[in-house]
Amino acid sequence: MDKQIEIVEIDSIEVNPFQPRTDSFEIEKLKEMAQTIKQVGLIHPPLVRRVSENLYELIAGERRFRAAKLAGLKKIPVLVRDATDSQSSLSALVENIQRIDLNPIELAKALKNISTGSNLTQEELGLAVGLKRSTIANHLRLLSLPTKVQEALISNHITLGHAKVILSIENQKDRLILLKIILSSSLNVRETEKKAERLKNKTLKSAMKPIRNIFIEQIKEILQNKMGTKVEFVGDEKKGSICLHYYSLSDLNRLLHELGYSEE
């Protein structure tokens, strides 16, 4: 994979289809870079690979390439390197990570594309791009979030910290509910964690609905008459629990006595 500098027609260069960055480049920053290029030239040549005799594909340096076009350059210097699709994809990802150019969802999608398009394990991919295996795994999990949550993360309406808390909730519907609460109440991550715990507890309680079964209802009536208090069955026909209500300390002692409990 030796590199060599060539001067090529700017129109002979195609944008890297593996470019992980999907949001638009900020035009004002491109204009500033274009002005600099007009004054001092393109000091750092973009990295390309040769596709055919007169066609090149951009591997890294898309912002510089776009700024050079904006500056009106017809020819630019480029670093030409032989590279496979997988190597080109990896190079584009590494450059963007190093420049902190990607939002979390773009990074997650890029990592997924590379991991499915190559034989690299998460550990090997982590070594290649300079990220921990756990970081890669956590980013890939972001892709399981509802689209609205991903969009909120991309648009910076929520942070990566918020997204991780939302991931702690299994139900997609509840994830969307939590997102709505975060946005409407401008919750920070710590406040979001508390809301998530309440939401999980509420979901757990709703899952343990009172049993509706004729046999169980008969047992409940017998127990209520015997114990002299309200009795509830929660769960389902396979498993659950029985709840005996008490309304004072003496009432609790009476129930314990009925159940055969003795302090002796």
Digit-coded pLDDT (tens) for 62-101: 888 888 899 999 998 888 877 665 666 666 666 655 555 5
Per-residue model confidence (pLDDT) at position 175: 92
Q: What is the pTM of this model?
A: 0.50
Task: Specify whether 53 is located in the same domain as 138.
Answer: no
Instruction: Tell me the per-residue pLDDT of 8-48, one tens digit each, with 9 for 90 and over.
Output: 899 999 887 656 555 556 788 888 888 888 877 777 788 88
Tell me whether residue 53 is one of the annotated catalytic residues: no
Name the residue range of residue 20's domain: 3-83
Calculate the average pLDDT of the chain: 80
Out of 61, 83, 105, pick the residue that ends a domain: 83
What mean pLDDT comes out for the span 108-118?
Answer: 75
CA distance 94 to 16: 14
234 neighbors 240 (Cβ within 8 angstroms): yes
Task: Specify whether 93 is located in the same domain as 164.
Answer: yes
Tell me, yes or no, whether 44 lies in a domain.
yes
Task: Specify whether 200 is located in the same domain as 219.
Answer: no
Task: Specify whether 79 is located in the same domain as 95.
Answer: no
What's the CATH number where 199 sits? 1.10.10.2830
**Closest of 86, 80, 94 to residue 2, by C-alpha:** 80
78 neighbors 48 (Cβ within 8 angstroms): yes
Task: Specify whether 109 is located in the same domain as 11.
Answer: no
- What pLDDT band is residue 1 in, cutting at 50, 70 and 90? very low
Tell me, yes or no, whether 162 lies in a domain.
yes
Instruction: Tell me the per-residue pLDDT of 187-202, one tens digit each, with 9 for 90 and over.
Output: 999 999 999 988 888 7
Task: Specify whether 121 is located in the same domain as 55.
Answer: no
User: Locate tokens 């609460």: which residue?
Assistant: 181
Q: Based on the number of CB atoms within 10 Å of its own CB, is 166 exposed (0-12), middle (13-18) or buried (19 or more)?
A: buried
CA distance 231 to 233: 7
Per-residue model confidence (pLDDT) at position 37: 84
CA 229 to chain centre: 49
Per-residue model confidence (pLDDT) at position 25: 61
What mean pLDDT comes out for the span 231-247?
Answer: 79
Residue 152 pLDDT exceeds 90? yes
Task: Specify whether 190 is located in the same domain as 112.
Answer: yes
| Sign of CA pseudo-dihedral 112, 117, 120, 124 | negative
Name the active-site residue from 53, 57, 62, 217.
Answer: 62
Tell me, yes or no, whether 263 lies in a domain.
no
HSE (side-chain half, CA atoms, 13 Å) at 231:
17
Task: Specify whether 67 is located in the same domain as 153.
Answer: no
CA distance 197 to 72: 56
